[in-house]
Chain A
Amino acid sequence: MSWTTEQIAAMVEPDRAHRKAYTDPEIFDLEMERIFENTWIYIGHESQVKEPGDYYLAQVGRQPMIMVKDKNGEVQVLYNRCPHRGAQLCTARKGNTGNNFYCSYHAWTFHLDGKLESMPAKQAYEGTNLDFEDPEFHMARPARSDNYRGFWFAKLSEGGPDLRSHLGESASAFDQLIDRAPGKETEVVGSCFRMVQQSNWKIFLENQLDASHPGVTHESTGKSAQQVEAKIRADGKEVPLELSFLSDFARLGHDGWTKFGTIGFPNGHSSLEGYMGLRPDDPDTNEYVRRMYAAYGEEKAEEILAVNIHHMLVYPCNSVQPPLQQLRTIRPLGPDRTLTEIWHFRLKDAPEEIYRRSLAYYYLVNSPSTLVNADDLFNWWKCQHGLESSAREWVSFHRNAGQDIEEGDKTYSAPDTMSEMPLRHMMHAWRDYMTAEKEA
């Protein structure tokens, strides 16, 4: 079938969504067209490409893209496609392409800004319609690319808001990744972890802000961590602080999980307040705070450290955990397959132990051997299979429905709840993206 705007709008109700939004291949294609190839999508951080010729591949919707540092030190975002016969120009996921891009098929070469440089026996093109100055024969550029403080995005369609307007208050996630550094800079650590979720991309986003799942899904992790902590104490050793990232799941209890408010922002962005012991009273944290005071002054440093976000969802593609310097970006592959890239950032001039603490989180929670997300990914896979069943047509978002608090352009969850407000909020944004009139 072909979905009409009315039919798509009818898939989202105030407190539920239709299962086919998660399973239908045609809906997925429309999502790629109307969301991922139409709004601002994360490409990467400038520290991934330091020297001229350094490049990194990224996927925007169904389009293969390259982020490259040009000879002037500017970051360029280009399509990874030769305008001659369509061959991809870079195949390694990252590298340095030298002074130009070189096509392995017919040796067309391109400057690092994508302009056609040359090809063998080029006199054969004299008198033809091939024009070296015509962008048609350059590596294609996205309609727009821009960065917010070194975090690069591309937008493949004309029109719509600029990047800053699109991000709105969700930009605070990127501010936090930088401002929490006493050296006021941040950079990626190594490469990213890449995992394939065998489930729809929206299931992942919904999970990130679903406060009612961690105590259930991660019960085995929380309780096991408490056992190991007890054993380490019994051995007369000091329990590493990082283990609390795991034991917190058992420690918080039902009431604990109701303390973390969520906020919905325009364009589908949303946030969950922080809950992990992010500012313990230990010598390394105190040294870090001292360096922050020295860098920013006490008042400004406290203002930065007071920002309390566990996850910021930058719709539709990022989940950022600023206090732990983690950034996940999703690249949907199909209705039931989603590639995630998970990055860890290092805060310039923070104590080594602070870096190691967030590295431990990166390992324990976000690595391919995760002791936490293994159960999440499994739940999402089970949801995907369940949603393929026609036993029920709807997905329920009823928890605390009707109690959301609207203030200006923001929506707050009801206090002391594990409200599904963010899930409702994201599906309403999804409906708006999917049914928007195409701009001329």
Chain B
Amino acid sequence: MASATEILAAGNAQAVADVSVETQLAVERFLYRQAEIIDEKQWDDWLALFGDDGIYWMPSEEDQVEGDGEPNVFWEDTYLMQMRIARNTHPRAHSQAPHNRLCHVVSNVIIESEEANGDLIVRSRFHCAEYFRYEVRNFTGKYRHLLKKTGDGYRIALQRTDLVNREGPYEYVLQWWL
């Protein structure tokens, strides 16, 4: 069976699937809710967005097609996500004092492909402002989600996040997913 990264790599990132209005709305609702969850720091809800093997991926190179075994800005399964949540919310996480604030806007939602079982590849764009240490930093880029349809809504099998300035240099670091 193809891995999630192989499925994304094999997809046509310019395709536009002819999906129902209901599907389009459900996907947009899912992406907007994901943005709200991270902005509001609802970490149990964040973890619940991902399937058991779900991965959050931010490549470090433009032409990167695989994350496994490669240098990445992010490559996290749900255990590493739990590690990040535990660390960033720990009372001795000095660099999270004061906590940052995030504000996402997600748009340009295009469903790229729809499988017979309801699985989808979705492209979108985002802008995120981060308020940290009394300054605002801005991040912009694109998402590509591989969503699995379950009896209980969609689950993320793979989320690829490409920052426009992925190569850096990064001013300070990224402590949360974008």
Q: Which of B60-104 contact A (CB under 8 A)?
A: 60-61, 69-75, 79, 82-84, 86-87, 90-95
Q: Is the CB of B171 within 8 A of A198?
A: yes
Known: A228-B83, A378-B95. A369 touches B60 (CB 8 A): no
With known contacts A194-B170, A196-B171, A198-B171, A362–B71 Cβ distance under 8 A: yes
Q: Are B93 and A193 in contact (CB under 8 A)?
A: no
In B29-57, the 8 Å CB interface with A consists of: none
CA gap between A232 and B81 in the complex, in Å:
13
B174: nearest residue on chain A (CB-CB)?
A369
- How far, in angstroms, from A19 to B174 measured CA to CA in the complex? 29
Q: Closest CB-CB distance, A375 to chain B, in whole Å?
A: 5
CB-CB nearest in chain A for B68: A356
User: Which residues, 331 to 386 on A, are CB-close (under 8 Å) to B?
Assistant: 339, 344, 352, 355-356, 359, 362-363, 367-371, 373-375, 377-379, 381
Q: Which of B120-178 contact A (CB under 8 A)?
A: 133, 167-175
Whole-angstrom CA separation of A371 from B88 in the bound complex:
9
Chain B interface size, as a band, is 20 to 34
Count of chain A to chain B residue pairs whose CB atoms are closer than 8 Å in the complex = 107
- Whole-angstrom distance between the Cβ of B40 and the nearest chain A Cβ: 21
Q: In the complex, are the beta carbons of B83 and A246 less than 8 A apart?
A: yes
Cα–Cα distance between A233 and B9 once the two chains are bound (Å): 33
Cβ of A379 to closest chain B Cβ, rounded Å? 7
Contact A373 B86 (CB under 8 A): no
Majority SS of interface residues in chain A? helix
| Inter-chain contact A196/B172, CB cutoff 8 Å | yes
- Distance in angstroms between the alpha carbons of A249 and B87 in the assembled complex: 12
Interface members, chain A 215-262 (any B CB < 8 Å): 217, 219-221, 223-225, 227-228, 231-232, 243, 246
**A370, B173: Cβ atoms under 8 Å?**
yes
Q: Chain B contacts of A368 at CB under 8 A?
A: 73, 168, 170, 173-174
- Bound complex: CA of A243 vs CA of B87, how far in Å? 13
Q: A368-B168, A374-B95, A374-B175 are in contact. Are A220 and B87 (CB under 8 A)?
A: yes
- Residues of chain B whose beta carbon lies under 8 Å from any beta carbon of chain A: 58, 60-61, 69-75, 79, 82-84, 86-87, 90-95, 133, 167-175
Known: A195-B170, A223-B92, A228-B79. 17 other contacts (CB 8 A): A190-B61, A194-B167, A194-B168, A194-B170, A195-B168, A217-B94, A223-B90, A224-B90, A225-B87, A367-B72, A368-B73, A368-B173, A370-B173, A374-B172, A375-B94, A378-B95, A381-B133
11 contacts between A and B (CB under 8 A): A190-B60, A193-B168, A198-B171, A228-B83, A231-B82, A339-B169, A352-B69, A369-B74, A374-B173, A374-B175, A375-B94
Which residues of A approach B to under 8 Å, CB–CB?
Answer: 93, 189-191, 193-196, 198, 217, 219-221, 223-225, 227-228, 231-232, 243, 246, 339, 344, 352, 355-356, 359, 362-363, 367-371, 373-375, 377-379, 381
